[in-house]
Copies of this chain bind each other. A is one copy, B any other.
Amino acid sequence: MANAARSDSGDNLVQALSAPARLAPESGIVEVMNYGRRSCRAVMPLWAGEGDLPTPAFIQEAAAEGLRRGETFYTWQRGIPDLRQALAGYHTRLYGKPFEPENFYITGSGMQAIQIVLAMVAQDGDEVLIPTPTWPNAAAATGVIGARAVEIPMTFGNAGWTLDFERIEQAITPKTRALFLVSPSNPTGWTATLEDLRHTLAMARKHGLWIVADETYARFWYGEGERAPSYLDVMEPEDRVLFVNTFSKNWAMTGWRMGWILAHPSLGQVIENLIQYSTSGVAQFMQRAGVAAIEHGEDFVAQQIARSRESRDIITTALGASPRVRFGAPQGAFYLFFSVDGVKDMRQLAFRLIDEGGVGLAPGTAFGAGGDNYLRICFARNPEHIRQAAASIVKVLES
């Protein structure tokens, strides 16, 4: 078995795979991460969408306590009732309208929520519209089910990034089944206005499309109020909108792989079935951590947001002072997506920033059409580190 790694047979095996599996792309961030990991110098890892804080102890303890209680048996596919109830309360508070436990379905990561929701709305030969630059996994997951991700580049101008409604509508074909929108956006920080949401919703209604709303970064919002504008603000219950979300960012739980779907209760049996035939649920003791996060995690979330806000101000001020650097100030999420006048090969610049600056960024090429001339920096970290990283970046750019 093992030795065959060195034989020619491997190519034959890969060629015998299904096309969607064989053609699934490697993550474009990984190449730079691997380069950085091989580097001799210490590299500040700002390439991933992850902060520098471990999960708070009270959340960890809830999982450990569940383990000690022996919560190691099969559990509800839809999620444990306590967690679904907690999510209903959380959304009722945050969105000012009533939610019930039957609106919520626990998944083994936000990514799995996306995978399940994509399977719900699209199949082989269908098309899903995805404004870009964006986190690449939704497009790749669309490809895995044999559907086609149609990238709709956003416009970058004096107003920062904007959605081009006309371009979206022109891309709709009889095969189009859904619009996948990440707001606040990873990597640009662009955040849909209520008007953007109303307009795209009207378009979806007109053409019978689903909207998949990835509101992972809803809490990381630098405008008024405690969260970004949401389709929940503008939709009717019977609209074809499915929400995907995750515990990863708000509660520093990236490694836990736990997320949720928010959907109309009539879709519950279908979601349960798709969970059953993919991972069959999330460990009960892990879900206890989710309950603790939601019920006792607001102080931590507030700290995380305050920290991101400070780091955002630091990085935008430092890079904004460099005449060659261009970006739209992020309205939400915790990334700065910037280009540098006169630099075409951002992959090479990413390598230089590792070698000369000790800072690891993600190349914009990883984020689909319109991202090629950019780099993404994640600023969900200690503001002092971001200050140092900003200084290093500016120094490399000026050298």
Contact = CB atoms under 8 A, between A and B. Distances in A.
Interface of A: 1-5, 7, 9-14, 16-22, 24-27, 48, 50, 54-55, 60, 63-64, 67-68, 70-75, 88, 97-100, 102-103, 108-109, 111-112, 115, 119-126, 137, 140-141, 144-146, 177, 208, 210, 232, 236-238, 240, 252-257, 262, 264-267, 269-270, 272-274, 276-286
Given A20-B119, A67-B63, A255-B284, A54 B27 contact: no
B64 A9 contact: no
A338 to B, nearest CB: 23
B281 A123 contact: no
A284 B286 CA distance: 13
Assembly stoichiometry (copies): 2
Contacts of A238: 4, 7, 9, 12-13
Given A2-B100, A13-B240, A21-B119, 17 more contacts: A1-B237, A3-B237, A10-B267, A19-B123, A20-B119, A21-B273, A22-B270, A27-B276, A50-B73, A55-B67, A71-B255, A73-B255, A111-B277, A111-B278, A124-B146, A145-B146, A257-B281
A99 B24 CA distance: 27
10 shortest A-B CB distances, which residue pairs? A10-B266, A4-B237, A9-B238, A124-B124, A54-B70, A5-B265, A2-B100, A55-B72, A24-B273, A18-B123
30 contacts: A1-B99, A1-B232, A1-B237, A2-B98, A2-B265, A3-B98, A3-B237, A4-B237, A4-B265, A9-B237, A9-B266, A10-B267, A16-B240, A20-B119, A20-B123, A21-B119, A24-B274, A26-B273, A27-B273, A64-B64, A72-B255, A72-B256, A74-B254, A108-B108, A108-B257, A124-B125, A140-B277, A255-B283, A257-B281, A257-B282
A54 B122 CA distance: 39
Nearest to A125: B124
Nearest to A51: B73
B277 A141 contact: yes
A273 B26 CA distance: 6
A19 B125 CA distance: 13
A47 to B, nearest CB: 11
A278 B115 contact: yes
A173 B165 CA distance: 47
Given A70-B54, A145-B145, A137 B276 contact: yes
Contact of A97 (B1, B88, B119): B1
Contacts of A262: 1
Given A73-B255, A123-B146, A237-B3, A111 B279 contact: yes
A300 to B, nearest CB: 13
Nearest to A258: B283
A7 B265 CA distance: 10
Given A2-B103, A111-B278, A112-B279, A13 B266 contact: yes
A157 B370 CA distance: 65
B264 A5 contact: yes
B277 A121 contact: no
Nearest to A278: B115
Contacts of A64: 64, 67
A55 B70 CA distance: 7
A278 B20 CA distance: 14
